[in-house]
Amino acid sequence: MPYHRTGLAEQMAQQLLRPGFLDTSLRSGLFLSGQRRVGKTTFLAADLIPALEALGAVVIYVDLWSQPQANPAELVHGAIRQALAELQTPGSSVLKRLKRVTGLDLGAAGFSFGFKLAELGKPGGVSLAQAFTELVDRAQTDVVLIVDEVQHALGHAEGDAMLHALKAARDAINTRPDTPGHFLFVGTGSHRARVQELAVKGNQAFNGAVTHEFPVLGREFVEHVLTQVRPQLGDKTPSAAVTEAAFQAMGHRPEELMKALNVLRSLPPGTSPDEHLPTIAQSLSATAADIELQKVETLGALTEAVFARICGEDGDARGLFTAEALKAYGVQLGREVAAPEVQGALGALMGANLVMRIKHGHYGVTDPLVEKAWRARQESQGLLGAKGKGEAKRAADRRPAP
Ligand SMILES: Nc1ncnc2c1ncn2[C@@H]1O[C@H](COP(=O)(O)OP(=O)(O)OP(=O)(O)O)[C@@H](O)[C@H]1O
Ligand SMILES: [Mg+2]
């Protein structure tokens, strides 16, 4: 059972669907960026979607991370087709809710659209602008498309085309003076820079859209969790203030908090939980990034070399396949490396969600925290090396001169 953030969701739904003068820019699109595992998807599913639906909107949700290797445009088109199909089905739960909330008189039948669903997104088929215009007009309400992990659409030609098609739909619908509803686009992403790129770069589809940090869980969530765990932890229950600080230190990740509280259980009786929780939190958060880096290691030496190259290129690596790159891998591995092998290594990294395509031929580390951990590790290894030398020198200095 997730902790519900109803107030926050209702406020966001209001701003999106019933914007005051200052919020109208949200109609250009809203992008929420937050780090990994902070509860973005949970918030969308458990709170925001129900709040939007309660205000009468038709909500279509798609997660581009559900299948990292899939074509993002295909995933979006598939979700739209499925939502429209449900609206065509007499008695479907979507239709029932729409009737109940909006009071729309649909009779017993479902919607019928003037185009073939199967053609949506196909070359020569109905455009997204046409499809969404018809949907808004039939349903007489707002349509919200939520794309989770939207930055995955950036790396593909088809993803870019799809984003532009969504912008065209937005412009076609929202500029009509008497439109019975608006088209709203909400995107979330784990990579702030990539997500912001969508909204600020002139060449991106959603130029002018609003970007916000995902509001992370805070004190109220911590207090809720402490109430839940108190029966089990008893006098090993930490104080709210110390727990909140620990939660923050662990990047506001609920799973990490639960792990840390679990560690408290094994403390000997009489020890102070407030004294131990900060240390536990610190070591756990270091472990989380390490686990990701270990995944890289288990994928083999070449994959590690490719990952290092991507990290080394400041998060925007190309040239993973150049003759120079192949030669460098070869030196690291002590054998010849061919381009198809590198392709395989890259595929493995993308399959594990460690690396993503940014634009054609460019790759970056998906989780900025993992990249940071990698750099920190490189640095500390470098420091250790330097320290080793320093010590050797000092030892040499201590030796009596001959
Ligand atoms: N409101 C909440 N109450 C309780 N647990 C939560 C809440 N939000 C998130 N969690 C837990 O935190 C974990 C991460 O949540 P979620 O998958 O929603 O995050 P995310 O930011 O979408 O992650 P990812 O980066 O993997 O997409 C899950 O185990 C989830 O159950
Ligand atoms: Mg998610």
In sequence order, the 6+-apart residues with CB closer than 8 A to the CB of 349 are 296, 299, 303, 306, 307, 310, 355
**In this structure, is residue 277 part of a structural domain?**
yes
Q: Are residues 184 and 41 in the same domain?
A: yes
Q: Are residues 139 and 238 in the same domain?
A: no
Q: Considering every ligand atom, which ligand is closest to the CA of 253?
A: 1
Q: Which of 3, 37, 67, 261 to mutate to test the pocket of ligand 1 (most atoms within 8 A of CB)?
A: 37
Q: How far apart are the first and last CA of the chain?
A: 74
C-alpha 189 to ligand 2 mean position (Å): 8
**In this structure, is residue 111 part of a structural domain?**
yes
* pLDDT of the residue at 68: 74
C-alpha 36 to ligand 1 mean position (Å): 9
Q: Are residues 57 and 116 in the same domain?
A: yes
Ligand 1 within 6 A of 255 CB? Answer: yes
C-alpha 40 to ligand 1 mean position (Å): 6
Q: Which of 236, 271, 289 corresponds to the end of one domain?
A: 289
C-alpha 72 to ligand 2 mean position (Å): 15
Ligand 1 within 6 A of 89 CB? Answer: no
| Nearest-CA residue for atom 30 of ligand 1 | 39
Domain that holds residue 362: 299-387
C-alpha 148 to ligand 2 mean position (Å): 7
Q: Which of 3, 32, 40, 42 to mutate to test the pocket of ligand 1 (most atoms within 8 A of CB)?
A: 42
**In this structure, is residue 377 part of a structural domain?**
yes
Q: Which of 231, 255, 289 corresponds to the end of one domain?
A: 289
Closest-lying ligand 1 atom to the alpha carbon of residue 367: 25
- Identify the residue whose tokens are 């250790």: 384
* pLDDT of the residue at 9: 98
For residue 16, CA distances in Å to 6, 24, 53, 170, 274 come to 15, 8, 12, 14, 41
Q: Are residues 205 and 231 in the same domain?
A: no
Q: What is the dihedral of CA 281, 285, 286, 289, to 10 degrees?
A: 170
* pLDDT of the residue at 86: 94
- What total number of domains does the chain contain? 3
C-alpha 311 to ligand 1 mean position (Å): 26
Q: Are 44 and 27 in contact (CB under 8 A)?
A: no
C-alpha 42 to ligand 1 mean position (Å): 5
Alpha-carbon span 206 to 282, nearest angstrom: 38
**In this structure, is residue 402 part of a structural domain?**
no
* pLDDT of the residue at 202: 52
Which CATH number does the domain housing residue 325 bear? 1.10.10.10
- Other Cβ atoms less than 10 A from the Cβ of 154: the count is 25
Q: Are 193 and 359 in contact (CB under 8 A)?
A: no
**Amino acid found at 293:** L
Q: Which of 289, 324, 351 corresponds to the end of one domain?
A: 289
| Nearest-CA residue for atom 19 of ligand 1 | 39
Ligand 1 within 6 A of 254 CB? Answer: yes
**In this structure, is residue 396 part of a structural domain?**
no
Whole-model pTM?
0.83
Q: Are residues 66 and 104 in the same domain?
A: yes
* pLDDT of the residue at 203: 54
Q: Are residues 87 and 235 in the same domain?
A: no
Q: Are 135 and 143 in contact (CB under 8 A)?
A: yes
| Nearest-CA residue for atom 15 of ligand 1 | 39
Tokens of 341: 């092998």
Alpha-carbon span 200 to 209, nearest angstrom: 8
Ligand 1 within 6 A of 3 CB? Answer: yes
pLDDT (tens place) for every residue of the chain, 402 residues total: 899 999 999 999 999 999 998 888 899 899 998 888 899 999 999 999 999 999 999 999 999 988 877 899 999 999 999 999 999 999 888 888 888 888 877 666 889 899 999 999 888 899 999 999 999 999 999 999 999 999 888 777 888 889 999 999 999 999 999 999 999 999 998 877 777 777 766 556 777 788 888 999 999 999 999 999 999 999 999 999 999 999 998 889 999 999 999 999 999 988 899 999 999 998 887 777 888 899 999 999 999 999 999 987 654 566 899 999 999 999 999 999 999 999 999 999 988 888 887 777 788 888 777 888 898 888 888 776 654 444 444 444 445 444
Tokens of 398: 């201590």
Q: Are residues 23 and 61 in the same domain?
A: yes
C-alpha 23 to ligand 1 mean position (Å): 27
Ligand 1 within 6 A of 40 CB? Answer: yes
Q: Are residues 317 and 352 in the same domain?
A: yes
Ligand 1 within 6 A of 38 CB? Answer: yes
Ligand 1 within 6 A of 42 CB? Answer: yes
- Per-residue HEC secondary structure of the chain comes to CCCCCHHHHHHHHHHHHCCCHHHHHHHHCEEEECCCCCCHHHHHHHHHHHHHHHCCCEEEEEECCCCCCCCHHHHHHHHHHHHHHHHHCCCCHHHHHHHHHHCCCCCCCCCCCCCCHHHCCCCCCCCHHHHHHHHHHHHCCCEEEEEECHHHHCCCHHHHHHHHHHHHHHHHHHCCCCCCCCEEEEEEECCHHHHHHHHHCCCCCCCCCEEEECCCCCHHHHHHHHHHHHHHHHHHCCCHHHHHHHHHHCCCCHHHHHHHHHHHHCCCCCCCHHHHHHHHHHHHHHHHHHHHHHHHHHCCHHHHHHHHHHHHCCCCECCCCCHHHHHHHHHHHCCCCCHHHHHHHHHHHHHCCCEEEEECCEEEECCHHHHHHHHHHHHHHHHHHHHHHHHHHHHHHHCCCC
Tokens of 274: 């407030």
Q: Are 39 and 256 in contact (CB under 8 A)?
A: no
**In this structure, is residue 169 part of a structural domain?**
yes
Alpha-carbon span 141 to 135, nearest angstrom: 9
In sequence order, the 6+-apart residues with CB closer than 8 A to the CB of 100 are none
**In this structure, is residue 179 part of a structural domain?**
yes
Quick one: angle between helices 254-265 and 219-233, nearest 10? 30
Closest-lying ligand 1 atom to the alpha carbon of residue 217: 1
* pLDDT of the residue at 209: 86
Q: Are residues 336 and 205 in the same domain?
A: no
Alpha-carbon span 167 to 183, nearest angstrom: 10
C-alpha 367 to ligand 1 mean position (Å): 15
**In this structure, is residue 124 part of a structural domain?**
yes
Ligand 1 within 6 A of 228 CB? Answer: no
Q: Are residues 171 and 48 in the same domain?
A: yes
